[in-house]
């Protein structure tokens, strides 16, 4: 799930009405539901008067996207939300969240995952400049920015 204090939320795919209540009591207060399916990279945009935020999710087969609005400070004070769903034994969720002033263009254009499932690489496209995040889930994270800067975190413990 991701929620945002924006006024609205839109997806870059065809959506149909969806009733969140079928997920059980924890979703009973989520209203104005819609859902859609895709195998492609997905863009969700939360819009507000001053600030818009995009959520980019990597492509994967049988991805379901669910939109709606749910309680914030009260059941009457509502905020838009998104939930992504995938099924399978090995699925990877990789997302980036980018805020920007409303009326300006987003800088991020795509997120993709490559490499092996136990040591994936996340590629973040910024309009032709690609940043790469390499994950060794047991010891290290490397971030290679398109500008040539390399950031590393060692000694990750679970």
3-state secondary structure of 101: strand
**pLDDT tens, position by position, 106-132:** 999 999 998 777 788 999 999 999 999
Cross-strand bridge partners of residue 131: 124
pLDDT at 69: 93
CA distances to 11, 53, 128 from 79, in Å: 16, 13, 33
For residue 136, give the DSSP letter.
E
8 closest CA partner among 67, 58, 55, 56: 67
User: pTM of this prediction?
Assistant: 0.85
Q: Are 120 and 136 in contact (CB under 8 A)?
A: no
* Dist. CA 6–CA 23, nearest whole Å: 24
């Amino acid at each position: 799930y991701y929620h945002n204090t924006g006024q609205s939320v839109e997806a870059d795919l065809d959506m149909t009405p969806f009733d969140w209540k079928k997920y059980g009591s924890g979703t009973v207060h989520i209203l104005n539901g819609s859902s859609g399916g895709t195998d492609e990279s997905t863009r969700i945009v939360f819009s507000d008067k001053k600030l818009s935020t995009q959520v980019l999710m990597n492509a994967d087969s049988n991805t379901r996207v669910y939109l709606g609005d749910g309680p914030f400070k009260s059941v009457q004070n509502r905020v838009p939300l998104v939930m992504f769903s995938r099924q399978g034994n090995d699925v990877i969720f990789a997302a980036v969240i980018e805020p920007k002033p409303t009326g300006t263009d987003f800088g991020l254009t795509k997120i993709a995952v490559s490499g092996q499932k136990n040591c994936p690489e996340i590629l973040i496209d910024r309009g032709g400049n690609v940043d790469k995040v390499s994950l060794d889930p047991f010891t290290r994270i490397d971030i290679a920015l398109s500008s040539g800067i390399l950031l590393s975190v060692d000694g990750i413990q679970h």
